Every structure is written in C-alpha cells, then in structure tokens.
Structure 1
C-alpha cells in the first residue's frame, strides 16, 4: 500500500462458518468491498472440520440455517430434523454458490497476524502462506468451537497407531472395521461416535472423565407434510426465531414446578423424554435451572431411564452423573448411546478411578495397566470462546495484543468488540450466546453492519468501543453466573484448558437483554462507540 492509497478492502472477514458466511453476505449486500479468509479448503466452519461418524446438529436443522432469504428457505429442504454433517456441509456450499459468494473467499489461508495501523486507521492482515492484505475493518468470525484441545499426556508422539481429534477429522474415511479403538471423552462428540462405530470395531474402549446427563436426540425424517408447513409459515417462523430467547422454535413452558403434583410432573417428564433435542431444557419447567429440588427430581427420573437402558447396573453407576444436576454441564443428546454399552465389545474406563498415565507405542497406559489400540479418538473438546481469537495475532492501539488484553479473561462490549481495538469486531465470539448460536451470532452480525453503515463514507473513519461501555458489559457478564445453570467446571468457563482463567464465556443475561442493548445503542446514536477520523482518533487504549 502506498502512502496515499486506501485499503484493498472495506472489510476483511476471518472464518467461513455460519457467522462468517452471513457477515460476508451482509457486507456485500450493503455495498462494501469484502474478502473472507478461511483456513480450510471449504466452507462450513465447525461443519467442515467435524466430519466424524454421526456428527450432526442437535439444534433443529431449519432453526440453524439462514433466515435472510425467503427464496433460500423455500429452495432448500432439510431431510432430517437434525441433519448430519454431509448434509450440513452441502447446505453451506449451496448458500455460498446461490448468492455468488465463493469468488470473495480465499481458502487454505490461515491468518497469523492482524495489526492496526494508527497512522492510516487500517488493518494489515497477514497469513501463514506469505500473503498480506489491508482493510478498513476486520471482522473475526472465528467461532467458539474452532480450536481443538488435546490434553498434554506424556507419550502422545510415541503411539504408532492412528490418532484423530473429532474437531480435525480427516476427509478420507477412517477404517474402523476390525480395529481396537480408544475414545477419550464423552461430551457431545463422544456420545455421537460411540453407537456409530460400536458394531464395526473389534473393540471400543471409552475413557470417561465426567459422565453427563445424556438424553435422546429423537431424530426423525422431515415428512412432506412438515416440509410444506415449514415453507408456508416462513414469515411467522422467522419472527419467532428472530425473537426467541433460546433461538429455537420451542414454545417455552412458563409453569413453575410447584403448580403440578408430583404425579403430574413425572408424566410431564415422560413427555419431555420423547421430545426432540434441547426442548428437554427449553420446554421444561421454568424453574428447572434454579430450583435444585425440581432439578434433582428430574435427574432421578433421568437416572431411572438410563438404568433401564443398561444391563450392568455397576456400569450404570459410572455412567450416571453424581457431581452435577441437569444442565450443570452442556447436555449431550444421543441415539442409542447407553444401549451401546450392552455390547460385549464396548468397555468403559473411568478416568477418575484409573487415570491415564501415558501413551505408549502400542496404546494407553492407565493406573491399572496398559491397553493396546489401533486408533485413538480424542473427543476432548475445544479452547472455547476465546481460543481462536487469542491465536490470530491481533494487535490494536499502541501495540496492544489481544491475548495480553484478555490474559485474565475476555473483556467485550456486547460480545462484538473490545476497547483498544478500533475497527475490529468478533460476532459469534465470547459474551454473546446462551442458546442456538447462529441466532445470537446473527443478531451480532446485524449490529456490526449497523455500526459499519453508521460510519460509511469516511475512508479514514475509526470506530471503537468506549472503554466505559466495555467495562459495564464485562462486569455484567462476570457477575451473571447465578443466571445460568452451568457450573464453573464447564468448558463454558474455560476450565477445561490448563492455565486458562476461569471466566464466564457465555451471555447468561440472555438474548432479549442483548437485543435491548443493541437497540438502545442504535437509538442513542452509537454513543457507546467513539467515532473519529484517523487524524484525530483516540490514542489511549
């Protein structure tokens, strides 16, 4: 870039997942020049990288997709209530090609640095392939589940078999037939994999640290009648999804548990057991997450259901949580998960009783000896919320590094921006969601676009969060733990990553509050932002 030239793009977007694709569409539709950089070879984000057996939504397919086009809604038909990874990936490719977005995307491009030039009021974005480009604005749509985590267990490099993390699954099919497989982790990914490969492998040994309350996904094909109903009701469905606190179509049940007798509650729990996915939480009694007595009663009901599915009750003892109630951790949803443990070739190892000491050339050594394996699957989760953003090499004013600024936990304004990082936004990151992520992230993308259009026309315009607004929102988030059922031991606090500060990474204040504050910011003339020309921009980070 020469001394007097402007940036190459108005907006550079990082990440081609559900949020980044929508951000690209909105930026181009508003007339901004935009470029999207994606580390992978295709679109879909989480749904490009997570292609392990039986990877699928646990949000209803049609509530996860885009709502900006009625034509898109009518053209695309989801085949299942909870679509599998291949269909999800096809959907994102369809969207990208349907709206001619692919020509604006650079694939196999890993961002290694993004540095703010205070003299020009622009960003320089560098990639690991030696490329560089400049932009007035950067939108990091890097997602909250994009940095896989593998525990630092001694001997990982010694193992001579195959190793795969669920979040970095190879494109070529993994051959499981006749193999001795170890699966480490029993969160959402592990729960999906177990029954998917149990009938194929010679043996499957599941290493479990913490059992979760797994309930049936209750997936089903979407019938022709349901397809017609979805198409006919697009406008009303969009209105519900655009305002729903959870981001689902589930109609909330506002009854208190005390309004029903115990017999009525048990009958209601039976209904919930048969309902799809997250409706077991979103359509439960309104006090399920803050009344420990009713939650305990619900867990006793779940325990009875689980025990009825497992032949060996000593095994059931290990699979039933004893240290948290329902939704104390992110609840997984499975299909014949517990039943898989009745198979003679499926075994469970409790890491609390027999922790892993190291990997060997031939397998895994625990406190009670060595087991030999051909394949090890790491279903050990992610550096949630801040992981990707902290690895982008983001540098704001006065050389301020984002990972240093967030060393004690994220500091944000409405989960979209941070003080000291002008013209930089991160919808879909920390402090945003507490529900169906694409719906929350969509709200944030729309807000980012409102801000960009507010400063449109100023080629050297600099817009940054007022530090007071950031401080107020961050304090609200950090003090909101009592509004959520999730425990600090959950990865929603980052506690699964050694050395990471244990801080709230979600938005327990909820979507209605987020939407209200966004409207207030817009109606107030964006007073929570400082807008200036580069020549007069604020210099204090």
Structure 2
C-alpha cells in the first residue's frame, strides 16, 4: 500500500483465525488479490488469545483440523486426542507457514470502520492507525467467539491485586502458586480453568452465577503408532465427517448430544432404571434420555438425576446442591469436564453460589457479596463472549444508504441469509454469521464449506460480469423463520436460558437463537441448491 493512497484489492478478509487463513489460501488460489487484516499481533484467532490454563477443544484433534490439504493432514503431528490451546495455536502457525500466507496478512491492523460506496460498488475499509483499504468484496472472518465480555462490576479498577481476563491471558503465563485466587464465571472457560488453578493456588474461591452442565471426558496422549493409523484412514474419517450432522463423526460433545436423541425417554423410565443410569454412568447417565431436548418436564427430571449424580461426587451436601444448574440442559453449549466436580472436594476450594446473594463490588482487597466479603490476591474474570455478532457490531459497518449493521442487529435481532450475508450490505460475506451451523457443529468443518462457497461465488460473479451480490430481505426473513422454527419445539429457546446461543448473556442484546440446527449435510445441500439456481435469494447486479 502506498503512503499517499488506499490499498486496492480484489478481496479484503477481516481476521487471521482459522477462517481467515483458509479464506486467504482459497481466494489466492482463485487468482484474487487478497489481503487479511488482523488486529492481533499473531495468527490463530481465538486460539491465540485464550491462553488461560486448561483451555482445550471439545472435538477430537484429527477432526478439528483442515481437510482441504492432504499434505497438512499428513505432516502435522497431534499429540493428544483432544488438543489443548498451545497445540491448536501451533497448528495455526504451521498452516500459515506451510501455505506461505504471512506475506498477505497485515498484523496489528484493527478494522474500525467500513463503508460501501454505491457508485463504485466498493468497500472502503479504515483501520485504527488511519490506513484505508478498498476492495469490491469483504469476507468477515472475525470469529464467533472472539469478543470476550468483561463485566461491569463496581470497583473493578480499585483492586490492588492482580486482575486477569481469560480472553487476554498473558502469553508467558501467570504463577498462581501460593496465591489466594478468585474465579468469576463457571461457563466453559471456568469449567476448564478451575481444576487447573485449584492445583496451584493456596486458596481458590469460585463465584458462580449459573451452574453448568458438564460431560465427563478422558483426554489422553496418542499411543505409539495410533496417530499414524488414523492418518492412513483419513479419507474414511473425512467422508464420515461430511455425512455427520455436526461434522464430527468421532467422539465430541456434540456427537454425545446427538446420541442422546436415540435413547429411551426419561418420563417412561422406572425409578429403578433412572437410579441405575446414575449408578452406572454418573452425570452422563443422568442426562442420557431421548426426551430431554423437547420436553421441559423431562428436562427437569433429568436435572434432578444430575443433582443426584453430583452428590455422589461432591462430599459437602450444600456445595453439591449449589452446583445443580437451574437452566434446561442443552440450552447452552455442552462442556467437557476433566475433574471439575472433584475439585470442590479440595480443602483449598470454596464455592460461592451467587443465586443466594450476588456480587456487590470489587474492593482493593477482594470481592464483597451479599453473602459476605472475600479477600483475595488475584481475580480471574471468566465471563463469556458476545458471540456470533459481537466482533462485527464493534466495527462501524455502513451498507446501502449509510445504514449501520450494528443498528440492524439491534433493531431486528441477529438476522442474516444463510449466515453468509445481511440484506442491505452488498458484497459483504460473513463466515459463520448468525443463522449458520457454526455454533452447533465442528467449527472447522463448517468454515471450510463457507469459505469454499464464498470463493466459488466471487469467481462466478466476476466471470459473469456482475459487480454486486446482496441478500434479498424476503429471503433473509424466510431463512430466519426457518432457523427459528427448527428450535421452536426444543428447550433451546426456553425463557430460563441465558446463553450465548441466543444472546441472553449480553445485556441489551436482542434475544434470538443464532444457529442452524438441521445439520451440516442439510445446510450444504441448501447452499449448493441456491448456488446452482443462480444464487436464489440474492440480487445480482
């Protein structure tokens, strides 16, 4: 880019996480001059910043990986069945180097504004440091869990100890040995973090607002020769992935949930059968019933059993009771659990159930609650994400007639067509936007399809001489009606559930379930049908 004018490209990609890296590779391969703009100082997206202790994927490593390159599949060596954060970040860097992507990635380049210029059919993209880039097409690969929510608690800035945020954990780590540590939040991040911190801290106080349902999991290193055997069968593994509703044919948190659908209903089970399920399978047995997704009474019965299973693990009855969730099972993302409940049997761990009295303020020496004061040396905030729309809502994106994307989502909810475009914003593609399968599937399997569809679309438009493509409002409305109808009969939309799936965890965010739940194969079929029909539901000009 010259110093006195904007940089012109065929496509600009926002974000150098897994979506952005593949988008760059794919678009370059199609002959498109492409630049990736990344606000961080490294590639890897959410896996480059969420370095908190215990961070791990809930999908097996051989499936949570790119399938488009046989060379990458065979060359990269995973060490564990489910990869931890450092290994996933290393994998992203390996891919960036193996595909020679870094020369077309601008790091430390935060996009703050984008405006669609209607006369030229070009997007003008402005960065925080004052650069301007111009391209007819923009691919927003900004991630679905890339914007951490930092709480607004009175007195946070007065704390004299160390404040840590899981979404921007120090690269060199933090020594918590001998420290009195507070962790605020028991979602997926907290459940992963808490058992690890408990092993190091002198004292750990867990502040819990919403107890989590967890799925016990055994993560292990690969046995000698095991990974080589899996690599030899990669063609079959990928074929099974493509046919699987969640894009993960082997063990994953999502595949376990799908298997539950085929189980007998809890409402027709005898008391002996329910007790036996807990005796033989613990917390997983308590939840493993086919009617819990569709019948709130069945869900409550399973939650009761879940409480019985927790009581078999946690010694203190009051603590065990406090760990029982009050929202329906499955309305939030399932969480893999490696010794979470056992952690509360440690002498150095205390649980504060905020349902019995919330946090009033952070003080210079700790945390005051309605239940009393707690003095600590370190506070860790594990308070979730503004999912799906958060990253783009923080950019001033202006489409036709100067309409702001954040205003559309604030007024209408997180709308889109296919999770790929929002009406009124021509040539702006979203990878895994609201209404896409991303939230309920293997993210990498889902993003590969999105990136390939977008690349094929841009190539087709250019070949036919079209300058713009934009979602029709009517098609967008029909798609949102379709996606919401899929979850209407389920507990996913129960009013007691405040989840990042529906935006209920973000104050002021319009509530709407943001995922597509009919499965990846059906989603791909619909997208391919739309493309084959000349991009049905889009206006080309």
Distance apart, 1:229 and its partner CA: 2.6
Query: 1:414-451, CA deviations, whole angstroms, 9 ceiling, x for partnerless residues?
Result: 00101111110111222112222222222222221221
Task: Report the equivalent of 2:91.
Answer: 91
Bigger mean CA offset, 254-263 vs 225-234 = 254-263
Q: Determine if contact 2:195/2:340 at 8 Å carries over to the other structure.
A: yes
Task: Report the equivalent of 1:398.
Answer: 401
Distance apart, 1:103 and its partner CA: 0.9
Q: Determine if contact 2:15/2:142 at 8 Å carries over to the other structure.
A: yes
Distance apart, 1:300 and its partner CA: 4.6
- Going from structure 1 to structure 2, the CA distance change for 1:272 and 1:516 (only over 3 Å counts) comes to farther
Counterparts of residues 481-520 of structure 1 (less than 5 Å): 481-482=487-488, 484-486=490-492, 487=494, 488-520=497-529
Q: Determine if contact 1:57/1:83 at 8 Å carries over to the other structure.
A: yes
Distance apart, 1:130 and its partner CA: 1.7
Distance apart, 1:458 and its partner CA: 6.7
Distance apart, 1:344 and its partner CA: 1.3
Q: TM-score, normalised by structure 2?
A: 0.91
Between the aligned partners of 1:183 and 1:377, the Cα distance in structure 2 is 5
Between the aligned partners of 1:269 and 1:459, the Cα distance in structure 2 is 63
Distance apart, 1:510 and its partner CA: 3.3
1:218 aligned to 2:222? no
- Going from structure 1 to structure 2, the CA distance change for 1:316 and 1:453 (only over 3 Å counts) comes to same
1:255 aligned to 2:262? yes
Query: 1:341-381, CA deviations, whole angstroms, 9 ceiling, x for partnerless residues?
Result: 11111101111112111111111111133222211111100
- Of 447, 457, 477, the match for 1:441: 447
Counterparts of residues 310-389 of structure 1 (less than 5 Å): 310-321=314-325, 323-389=326-392
Distance apart, 1:6 and its partner CA: 11
Q: Determine if contact 2:356/2:371 at 8 Å carries over to the other structure.
A: no
Distance apart, 1:290 and its partner CA: 1.9
1:114 aligned to 2:114? yes
Between the aligned partners of 2:286 and 2:16, the Cα distance in structure 1 is 31
Q: Determine if contact 1:483/1:509 at 8 Å carries over to the other structure.
A: no
Distance apart, 1:172 and its partner CA: 2.4
Bigger mean CA offset, 92-101 vs 155-164 = 155-164
Counterparts of residues 71-86 of structure 1 (less than 5 Å): 71-86=71-86
- Going from structure 1 to structure 2, the CA distance change for 1:514 and 1:272 (only over 3 Å counts) comes to farther
The secondary structure found in structure 2 opposite 1:359 is strand
Distance apart, 1:288 and its partner CA: 4.2
Distance apart, 1:116 and its partner CA: 0.8
Between the aligned partners of 2:273 and 2:532, the Cα distance in structure 1 is 46
Task: Report the equivalent of 1:290.
Answer: 294
1:466 aligned to 2:472? yes
1:413 aligned to 2:422? no
Task: Report the equivalent of 2:434.
Answer: 430
Counterparts of residues 125-274 of structure 1 (less than 5 Å): 125-250=125-250, 253=259, 255-257=262-264
Query: 1:208-230, CA deviations, whole angstroms, 9 ceiling, x for partnerless residues?
Result: 00111122121111223431231
Q: Determine if contact 2:295/2:490 at 8 Å carries over to the other structure.
A: no
The secondary structure found in structure 1 opposite 2:474 is helix
Consecutive unaligned residues of structure 2, counting only runs of 5 or more, are none
- Going from structure 1 to structure 2, the CA distance change for 1:280 and 1:341 (only over 3 Å counts) comes to closer
Q: Determine if contact 1:121/1:460 at 8 Å carries over to the other structure.
A: no
Between the aligned partners of 1:11 and 1:76, the Cα distance in structure 2 is 29
Query: 1:299-332, CA deviations, whole angstroms, 9 ceiling, x for partnerless residues?
Result: 45433332222111111000112x2342132222
The secondary structure found in structure 2 opposite 1:22 is helix
Q: TM-score, normalised by structure 1?
A: 0.91
Q: Determine if contact 1:245/1:510 at 8 Å carries over to the other structure.
A: yes
Task: Report the equivalent of 2:306.
Answer: 302
- Going from structure 1 to structure 2, the CA distance change for 1:133 and 1:333 (only over 3 Å counts) comes to same
Q: Determine if contact 2:414/2:510 at 8 Å carries over to the other structure.
A: no
- Going from structure 1 to structure 2, the CA distance change for 1:198 and 1:96 (only over 3 Å counts) comes to same
1:42 aligned to 2:49? no
Task: Report the equivalent of 2:30.
Answer: 30
- Going from structure 1 to structure 2, the CA distance change for 1:269 and 1:425 (only over 3 Å counts) comes to farther
Q: Determine if contact 2:158/2:364 at 8 Å carries over to the other structure.
A: yes
Q: Determine if contact 1:176/1:200 at 8 Å carries over to the other structure.
A: yes
Consecutive unaligned residues of structure 1, counting only runs of 5 or more, are 533-541
- Going from structure 1 to structure 2, the CA distance change for 1:436 and 1:167 (only over 3 Å counts) comes to same
The secondary structure found in structure 2 opposite 1:125 is strand
